[in-house]
Amino acid sequence: MTIHKEGYTTIALTVLFIFLLNAFVDYKFADLAWLRWLIYIVSFALFVIVLQFFRNPRRTFTAGDNLVICPADGKVVVIEETEEGEYFKDKRLQVSIFMSPINVHINRNPISGVVKFFKYHPGKYLAAWNPKSSTENERTTTVVEHPNGTPVLFRQIAGALARRIVWYVKEGDPVVQGEQFGFIKFGSRVDIFLPLGTDVKLELGEVVKGGITVLAEL
């Protein structure tokens, strides 16, 4: 396992904070051993939590020309027909994956193809499971056209804790299934919009892994 590049600054700041906090406690409360040990334990726990959040585990990815692979780790919270009003402006099959703070937060291309549309939207920070988060929260929208001509839309959505969305694609870019297209810091969600009638392989509440779990078949 390695650490994702998006975590370098956060981890460095965390280490600095822990060092200053422990130095202050050691100086100010030298006679209170129980307090110093409590701060040591809390500091260690904080460091482990931040470190695991930015982990980039080694994986053997699933690939298939006719497969749509899950773009993120997490839990399936939505599978429903809905109106997609930004790009398609018609009914689509929406699948949403909620990422908790303990999940890997790397986002991966669900299909190979060419980026036909990309847009970043600043916005609110409603809880990621709130239905309004899809249209009101900070988010990005990416549409990739599959080699067979089928467009697939996927959307990074910031949550109540997530305050920074990172993306690595732009319009016109060729993308490869399973490669990283972005990262969301802390709790967040990814929506994916497919043509009606698409054969979805997931169930509500299922726990999935980005780049590995098959989401659908085109």
Is 37 a member of any domain? yes
CATH number at residue 198: 2.70.70.10
pLDDT of residue 49: 87
- 46 and 98, same domain (yes or no): no
Q: Identify whether 20 is part of a domain.
A: yes
Annotated active-site residue 188? The verdict is yes
Domain match, 112 and 182 both? yes
Residues 95 and 203 in one domain: yes
The answer on 199 and 121 residing in a single domain is yes
- Quick one: 36 and 107 in the same domain? no
3-state SS, one letter per residue, for the chain: CEECHHHHHHHHHHHHHHHHHHHHHHHHCCCCHHHHHHHHHHHHHHHHHHHHHCEECCCCCCCCCCEEECCCCEEEEEEEEEEECCCCCEEEEEEEEEECCCCCCEEECCCCEEEEEEEEECCECCCCCCCCHHHHECEEEEEEECCCCCEEEEEEEECCCCCCEEECCCCCCEECCCCEEEEECCCEEEEEEECCCCEECCCCCCEECCCCCEEEEC
pLDDT tens-place values along the chain, 218 residues long? 799 998 899 899 999 999 999 999 998 888 888 999 999 999 999 999 888 888 898 899 999 999 999 999 999 999 999 999 999 999 999 999 998 888 998 999 999 999 999 999 987 766 666 666 677 788 999 999 999 999 999 999 987 665 678 999 999 999 999 999 999 887 688 999 999 999 999 999 999 999 999 999 98
Number of domains into which the chain is organized: 2
Residue 43 sits in which domain range? 2-56
88 and 182 housed in the same domain: yes
* Confidence (pLDDT) at 159: 73
Is 84 in the same domain as 24? no
Same domain, 93 and 148: yes
Does residue 120 sit within a domain?
Answer: yes
Give the pLDDT confidence score for residue 130 in this predicted structure.
64
Q: Are residues 9 and 102 in the same domain?
A: no
155 shares its domain with 79: yes
pLDDT on residue 131: 62
Residues 34 and 81 in one domain: no
Supply the pLDDT for residue 39.
93
Residue 62 falls inside a structural domain: no
User: What pLDDT shows up at residue 40?
Assistant: 94
